[in-house]
Amino acid sequence: MQLLKPSYRPAALAALLLALISSPAQAQSQAEFQSCLARLQPAARQAGVDSANFIRFTQGVQADFSLLEKLNYQPEFKLPIWDYLSGLVDEERVADGLAGLSRHAEVLQKVQAQYGVDPATVVAVWGVESNYGRITGKYPLVQALGTLSCFGRRQSYFQGEFYAALRILQRGDIAPERLNGSWAGAFGHTQFMPATYERLAVDFDGDGRRDLVDNSADALASTANFLRKGGWKSDLPWGFEIKLPNNFDTSLAGRKNKRSLADWEGLGLTLVDGRPLSNSGLAAGEKVGLLMLAGANGPAFVTTKNFDVIYGYNAAESYGLAIAHLSDRLRGGQPFVTPWPTDDPGIARAERRELQTLPAARGHDIGDIDGMLGEKSRVAIKHEQSRLGQMVNGRGGLKILQALRAGQ
């Protein structure tokens, strides 16, 4: 056996002690998990999961305690809205969405005829939720939802989703090995939670299964059904970018603070090109809100009830704006006219991959070059920002990319 070098011995001893301490604790926790599953079985039976299937689908499943860190994680690094949108609505995602519109044109036309939701909106949800089915999550749902049903916050909520996932497997809509998704339980092309799946998923191709994992037709139709049930109106846009008057009272803004279009026009709002709001095609009495996610100096939008429906998909205004804007781009629309109020704009995913490649070439451990600026990327960016005399915040914006491109 090779002896440890003295300089490494303290770390190795600490790791050994941690392993000795944590192994019994982890074993005890796994035992607690099995006891919890046993306690949940009667409730699952009352929720429609027969005992044989409960045992079958949970046999050999162990708790994943790493999920508790995600459940309790409070991000110290919060993306500015311009970073968030620059990654979700870039030329790459627009091009892929246009390809998807073409590839699935026949299905999308039938979806629109049945549910009244236009193809661009449906495909925009698909693009933002899973990058058109490319990123759907790697966590086995029975394990993830079982863990969250027994440990951490919101156990009652996750128990309901756990039983719903087991019912999905019991019906045979999705094979157990294919029911993977996010750590919190969302799965499939358009990331439904299991209970949402049970309420709103549809078997659009008539094969007898509602399959949102391997059947894009079912997934697209189910998304349209979600929006329709939320109150989508086929003759109404989500909203549009507008121009604010000087010294506008920003306290009037808010998605829920709806006024008639005529009222907003009376307060000095115009279309972004300066024409009256009455030229928008909306009725003067249409109630719309005012969305200003970057304050008075950033892009501003009036939003209709259809934006509220999109918001209901994930309960975040930045998320809703990403889908709304991507849907406009898929219809041939252009980027926002008003720039974001920053001297360091966000960058697209292709540029983010470049921002990972350049520090990696300088010896930084980046991990996968995937355009996802995670913890390793932020550590490398902080190091390079410090070296270059920039503000050290780990943010991957245009300034640090340009400096690295210049070989500084």
Strand locations in 274-383 (E) = 287-291, 300-303
pLDDT tens track for 141-150: 999 999 999 9
pLDDT confidence of residue 1: 35
What residues of the chain score a pLDDT lower than 50? 1-22
pLDDT confidence of residue 365: 96
pTM over 0.85, yes/no: yes
pLDDT confidence of residue 323: 98
pLDDT confidence of residue 304: 98
b/e per residue 330-353 (b: at least 16 CB within 10 A): beeeebbebebebebebbbbebbb
Assess contact for 227 and 285: CB atoms under 8 A.
Answer: no
pLDDT confidence of residue 78: 76
With 0-12 / 13-18 / 19 or more C-beta atoms within 10 angstroms meaning exposed / middle / buried, residue 204 is buried
- Residues constituting the chain: 408
